[in-house]
Amino acid sequence: MTTAPELVPVPTEDHAETAVYRRPLLEVVKVSKKFPVRVGPLKREYVSAVDSLSFSVDHGKTLGIVGESGCGKSTAARLVVGLLPIDEGDVIFDGVNVRGPRQMRQQGPAEKSLRRNMQMVFQDPHSSLNPRSSVGEIISFPMKVHGFPKEEQRERTSWLLEQVGLHGNHASYYPHQLSGGQRQRVNIARALALSPKLVVCDEAVSALDKSVQAQVLNLLKNLQEEFGLTYLFISHDLNVVEYMSDTVCVMYLGQAVEICDSEGLYHNPLHPYTRALLASTPVLDADAPRIDVPPLEGELPSPLNPPSGCRFRTRCPAAMDVCAEMAPVVTMPEPGHRVACHLYPETAETTVDPDFALRTIAAREPVEVAV
Amino acid sequence: MALTAARPAAETAMAPADGLGPAGAGESGPLLQVRDLVTEFKTRDGWLTAVNHVSYELHRGRVLGILGESGSGKSAMLRTILGLQPKSTRISGEVILRGRDLIAMTPREREDVRGSWVSMVFQDPMTALDPVFTVEQQLVETIRRHSTLSKAAAAERALELLEMVQIPSPERRLKAYPFELSGGMRQRVVIAMALVSNPSLLLADEPTTALDVTVQARVLELFRDLKTKMGMGIIFVTHDLAVAADIADDIAVMYAGRIVEYGRLEDIVRNPQHPYTKGLLEANIRPGQTERPEAIPGAPPNLAKLPPGCAFAPRCSKVEATCWESLPTLDSIGLSHGVRCFVATREIQNAMPVAAKGA
């Protein structure tokens, strides 16, 4: 019998201090994933959904991933939590390499303890809850799997309901009796049931109405402050990602094209794709600063046959000859601001260690990769 | 064909794309007047009022943005205008399009109106298109339903329509099946289909919600073109205030089936009066925002069990005793600005004499 690990409220200052020196909680190193697609009766081709993606998230911080649909952001989330096996690369969680290509489906105690620390909140609040289980059963299910005593399951469930702003009575409700916002709160409570360190939110607020969306975003922020949670926050809504994240990673066709702290990214976007994304976002105030870039032409190219060189070149207003010939290397034209684009050529000042190219944002010594 | 007299049908429908279409034919006044429209559905809990005494006007060449959360009755209202509600629905009120009341029409007459005077663009382009027919087959079928064109001429017209909605390499896309097109491209095909006979009124139900921001920006551009170049009246339903601000000239905010505030875009965005409108503006995350958004507490009410007073009262920060008891009226508080709220109306009336003294 395991006892419930306490979700100990972390004193914020102390927490911030240690986070700077600690190794990132999650490191994703050159992770790739290909899906087979049948193109003929006997022929298969591979769609590269995520291609050599690297990033890292510090303890208690939020990394946001933005991009259009089909850019591989949800696949990235599923690779991190292990819902999909990785083809290449490593996922290092809390200093331990947990998912390599050969550890496709870890079973047993190692996987179980990993699952305890890594949880996911899904996009659709309607399909991610079992319609035939009560809210109480849904929230206590992870604890049941991990062998918590019955009494503790009950206590903790009502405590969790309170934490996400639901009433204790809601435990006896069924999902169809709840509104979309309430259902998403149940999803969050279930994700928190095992006191995870990392919560992966895959479009967690996209299906909610704007007024309710703000409620859930505030809830996520409060929980993060209280329990020092680390988030991987995936969304297509740039404003929401900017608000939620410390660091933002912009993905295009399976690759990260720009990583920066959220302020730098939104005030000084470097990659032409990021600029186009920002310019396309409708703004409410007429006087808000807008970047004057024409909306993107053309469509997302097929990932079956991505363009040579830079994958964005077919839609890029600044495309040059070199873009078709070779893929751009990651450079750091500004401190902590990394971008993969030929507009920012590699010089002595801007060069980045390729292995750690898009991983860490703070000027930190690269850490050893434990295997 | 009871409508043929009132409607210069096939010939004008095939007029060049830059023409005004049949809508311009010597009519004055608003294009569409909705008066006291009520739509009720029968449910297990009794009659559910999805659209609750809604009235508004729409002029040619203007976009009316209808803003509301899911369940606020905005889609039900569009379907009522188009006559798509099931027979069991209870509908009352008037929908006057170009001088004819659509509600009073026979189903046969409405069928003729649908597609020629008014057409609709749905949220999900995949379900609006038939997956087993090519784009050309679907467009040609629609064109021939509304005209006497031959198959070949209809195919030519289909090509024109695809060019009009700026689909790249339209000849190739005509032969494509819906699944071969991207989301943005599919939505353009759906829009092209809605434009087949140059309708004077276009109903758009969350047409960009399923699209990426980069694609959304271009589809919004297309809607703006339809408005300015073809003089169409467009009702654009959305839950996203920023999208509404991008496309609409006038905005009506709906809550629990009722219009709670209406006005020009500037009125709503710069000077919102209803607590719900204010709440929506606050809840919207703006670029560069670092402080917490002010969320509206609670959830929208059950439409089958509406409270006797203001439906927003349980979530409202300024709620007073009267709000629970009686329903506020939609009061005019400016030239084109109206609000359904006791508190807001009183505050404005109190402020008025002061302003007059100052002036």
* Whole-prediction pTM: 0.81
pLDDT of A19 higher than 50? no
Contact A44, A38 (CB under 8 A): yes
* Closest alpha carbon to B157 in B206, B105, B195: B195
Instruction: Tokens 């070149």: give the residue.
Output: A313
Where residue B201 falls among pLDDT bands split at 50, 70, 90? Answer: very high
Which amino acid would we find at residue B335?
L
**C-alpha dist (Å) from residue A17 to A59, A96, B153:** 11, 22, 73
> pLDDT: is A161 or B210 the higher one?
A161
**Facing residue for B214 by CB, picked from A242, A243, A295:** A295
**Facing residue for B70 by CB, picked from A209, A298, A300:** A209
pLDDT of B164 higher than 90? no
Distance CA B107, CA B149 (A): 25
* pLDDT at res. A106: 56
Using an 8 Å CB-CB cutoff, list chain A residues near B180: none
Opening angle at CA A89, ends A84 and A93, nearest 5: 75
Distance CA A273, CA A341 (A): 10
Two structure tokens written together for A293: 């870039």
Alpha-helical segments (H) within chain A: 12-21, 73-81, 108-117, 135-145, 150-163, 180-192, 210-227, 238-244, 262-267, 272-280, 321-325
Two structure tokens written together for B290: 């670092």
Using an 8 Å CB-CB cutoff, list chain B residues near A209: 69-70, 239, 300
B206 conformational bin, left if phi > 0, alpha if psi -120 to 50, beta if neither: left
* B20-24, B25-29, B120-124: segment of lowest average pLDDT: B20-24
Contact B32, B95 (CB under 8 A): yes
* pLDDT at res. A101: 58
> pLDDT: is A349 or B322 the higher one?
B322
In chain A, pLDDT over 70 holds for what percent of residues?
84
Beta-carbon separation of B241 and A210 below 8 A: yes
pLDDT of A210 higher than 90? no
Mean pLDDT, residues A40-62 taken together: 88
Contact A336, A79 (CB under 8 A): no
Beta-carbon separation of B214 and A239 below 8 A: no
Two structure tokens written together for A65: 């991933």
Using an 8 Å CB-CB cutoff, list chain B residues near A220: none
Q: What is the pLDDT of residues B64-87, one digit of tens each?
A: 999 988 888 888 999 999 988 888
Strand duo A330-334 + A96-99: pairing:
unpaired
* Chain B positions with Cβ closer than 8 Å to A: 69-70, 168, 182-185, 212-218, 220-221, 239-243, 245-246, 269, 279-290, 292-297, 299-300
What is the SS3 assignment for B24? Answer: helix
Opening angle at CA B253, ends B251 and B257, nearest 5: 135
DSSP label at B112?
A: H
- H/E run at residue B276: helix B275-283
pLDDT of A197 higher than 90? yes
Looking at this predicted complex, what is its ipTM? Answer: 0.77
pLDDT of A363 higher than 80? no
Q: Which residues contact B340 (CB under 8 A, 6 or more apart)?
A: B258, B259, B260, B261, B274, B310, B328, B329, B330, B331
Mean pLDDT, residues A333-361 taken together: 73
CA distance A217 to chain B (A): 8
CA distance A103 to chain B (A): 35
Strand duo B32-43 + B90-97: pairing:
antiparallel
Paired residues of B250 in beta bridges: B64, B264
DSSP label at A308?
A: S
Paired residues of B90 in beta bridges: B40
DSSP label at A304?
A: T
Full set of structural domains in chain A with CATH: 12-283+302-356 (3.40.50.300)
Contact B253, B261 (CB under 8 A): yes
pLDDT of B356 higher than 70? no
Using an 8 Å CB-CB cutoff, list chain A residues near B216: 280, 282
* pLDDT at res. B295: 85
Instruction: Tokens 């939020």: give the residue.
Output: A62
What is the SS3 assignment for B95? Answer: strand
Where residue B235 falls among pLDDT bands split at 50, 70, 90? Answer: very high
Distance CA A35, CA B181 (A): 20
Report chain B's terminal Cα–Cα distance, integer Å.
59
* pLDDT at res. B344: 92
Distance CA A146, CA A3 (A): 9
User: From the candidates A37, A170, A203, A210, which should be mutated to test the interface with B, based on the most B CB atoms within 10 A?
Assistant: A210
CA distance B281 to chain A (A): 9
Instruction: Tokens 């294009």: give the residue.
Output: B31
Beta-carbon separation of A276 and B216 below 8 A: no
- HEC string for A70-132: CCCHHHHHHHHHCCCCCCEEEEEECCEEEECCCCCCCCHHHHHHHHHHEEEECCCCCCCCCCC
pLDDT of B264 higher than 70? yes
Distance CA A193, CA A163 (A): 11
Contact A214, A222 (CB under 8 A): no
pLDDT of A1 higher than 70? no
Beta-carbon separation of B213 and A242 below 8 A: no
Using an 8 Å CB-CB cutoff, list chain A residues near B290: 243
Using an 8 Å CB-CB cutoff, list chain B residues near A213: 283
Q: Is residue B182 exposed (0-12), middle (13-18) or buried (19+ Cβ within 10 Å)?
A: middle
pLDDT of A43 higher than 50? yes
Distance CA B172, CA B44 (A): 50
Contact B69, B239 (CB under 8 A): yes
Contact A166, A179 (CB under 8 A): no
What is the SS3 assignment for B157? Answer: helix
CA distance B24 to chain A (A): 32
Instruction: Tokens 């769609």: give the residue.
Output: A47
Distance CA A68, CA A297 (A): 14
Distance CA B21, CA B26 (A): 12
3-state DSSP helix/strand/coil % of chain B, to nearest 5? 40, 20, 40
* pLDDT at res. A71: 87
Beta-carbon separation of A180 and B293 below 8 A: no
CA distance A300 to chain B (A): 9
Most confidently predicted of A355-359, B28-32, B73-77 = B73-77
User: From the candidates B123, B206, B212, which should be mutated to test the interface with A, based on the most A CB atoms within 10 A?
Assistant: B212
* pLDDT at res. A10: 46
Task: Note whether A180 contacts B: Cβ–Cβ < 8 A.
Answer: yes
Distance CA B272, CA B251 (A): 11
Using an 8 Å CB-CB cutoff, list chain A residues near B65: none
Q: What is the pLDDT of residues B138-163, one digit of tens each?
A: 999 999 988 889 999 999 999 999 98
pLDDT of A270 higher than 90? yes
* A208-212, B120-124, B341-345: segment of lowest average pLDDT: A208-212
Q: What is the pLDDT of residues B309-343, one digit of tens each?
A: 999 999 999 999 999 999 999 999 988 899 999 99
Q: What is the pLDDT of residues A100-141, one digit of tens each?
A: 655 545 566 777 788 889 999 988 888 899 999 999 999 999
* Closest alpha carbon to B246 in B230, B258, B234: B234
Using an 8 Å CB-CB cutoff, list chain B residues near A180: 70
Using an 8 Å CB-CB cutoff, list chain A residues near B166: none
pLDDT of A201 higher than 90? yes
Where residue A358 falls among pLDDT bands split at 50, 70, 90? Answer: very low
Mean pLDDT, residues B302-314 taken together: 88
Distance CA B91, CA A29 (A): 60
Q: Average pLDDT, whole number, for chain B?
A: 85
Strand duo B32-43 + B63-67: pairing:
unpaired
Beta-carbon separation of B214 and A211 below 8 A: no
